[in-house]
Amino acid sequence: MNDFTILAGGVTSPMGFSASGIHCGIRKNKDKKDLALIVSNSLCSASAVYTLNKVQGAPIAVTKEHLQNGMAKAVICNSGNANTCNTDGVKKAKATCQALADELKMNANDIIVASTGVIGQPLPLEPIVDGIPLLVSQLGIGPTNGTDAATAIMTTDTVIKEAAVSFIAGGKTCTIGAMAKGSGMIHPNMATMLCFITCDAAVSPAMLQQALSRTVNQTFNMVSVDGDTSTNDMVSILCSGQAGNPEITAPGEDFDQFTGALTALCTHLCRMIAKDGEGATKLLQCTVTYAPSPAIAKAVAKSVITSSLFKAAMFGEDANWGRALCAIGYTPGDFDINKVSVALSSKAGSVLVCQNGSGVDFSEKAASKILAQDEIIISVSLGEGQNSATAWGCDLTYDYVKINGSYRT
């Protein structure tokens, strides 16, 4: 995969997309935006992937229905209420789409709808319906419009998560923009995580789904904050085709460029999500190399960054490598623990802490300096193959318990 430069920007960076974000009244704090909108000025090829939790938010059911034809034109998302486990949830998600369709004079079936927030509380529909005229009136193509939309989907996030990337397809410069939210209830197979992606390349719905599924498996499904897979996860993408490239309808160089750029962008957002984990002070990246299979490489990387004991050690700046080896050891798969090596590194340096399944002498003082940084890399070599994988997580802190002990109150 080629190197792609991450750019400032967001969902309005590609041609043909406008966005807005307002406070409509779902959230009590009037200073917090709670309703976001993205609109394309033409019908787009579209696809999405969703949480694997058996409990799924009502908007997911509606969006799945709307995307059966692989086409969409708009995205609407509220924060502050997940619209999950409610008997009238689907009805309200459809009513949201219809109210927006009436305002935009479009087909309600061409709308992706999403919600995020507290589970099990009825979604107040009136603030959304009453707020849609203002939401539509504030649509714009500027970067601040994209940021307004990105802000409106945040819950416990402390930073806005948006970015863009460009690539060449068919001799045309194409752009992908995205906004995401996610800070807690985050675990492989996605999280309380939403990501909305826009692109001005022409890509067929079938190839779009293939690219998105492949990318999500390498990126968002490799992020964990707390081991809880949420009910409302969704990653969706709209491609307007306005960059003017010949439509990507089959594997080839253009498809590889598109998929590479999409993966680079989603990797960037994954790192932002993991680093902004609830209460987190450190981004943890576990890279596994020399694994006997891709599945084992992914499983080991996930196992390390989801270990509560290891995450707590990273918070305490304690090079307790035995906890990492323990997490590697209970990972399913056939590999020899006696060939495993582990190193810890950051911008302060690197230290080998385990070789061939056993501890080695290292400076605890040097290790402590390495672990005092806000981004830590855990490098694991399984020593028996050519496969690799990377997962992202964060440390486990006192503040995580404080945040989640009073999430509803």
Sign of the C-alpha dihedral computed for residues 365, 371, 377 and 381 taken in this order: positive
C-alpha 271/C-alpha 284 separation (Å) is 9
Catalytic residue among 96, 147, 192, 259: 192
Q: Give the residue among 332, 366, 327 at the shortest CA–CA distance from 350.
A: 366
| Run of H or E including 267 | helix 253-275
C-alpha 271/C-alpha 219 separation (Å) is 9
Q: Which two tokens stand for residue 162?
A: 């948006």
C-alpha 96/C-alpha 83 separation (Å) is 12
Active site residue 192: yes
- For the beta carbon of residue 127, count every other beta carbon within 10 angstroms: 19
Pairing of strands 283-291, 17-22: unpaired
C-alpha 390/C-alpha 297 separation (Å) is 8
* Catalytic positions, written as ranges: 192
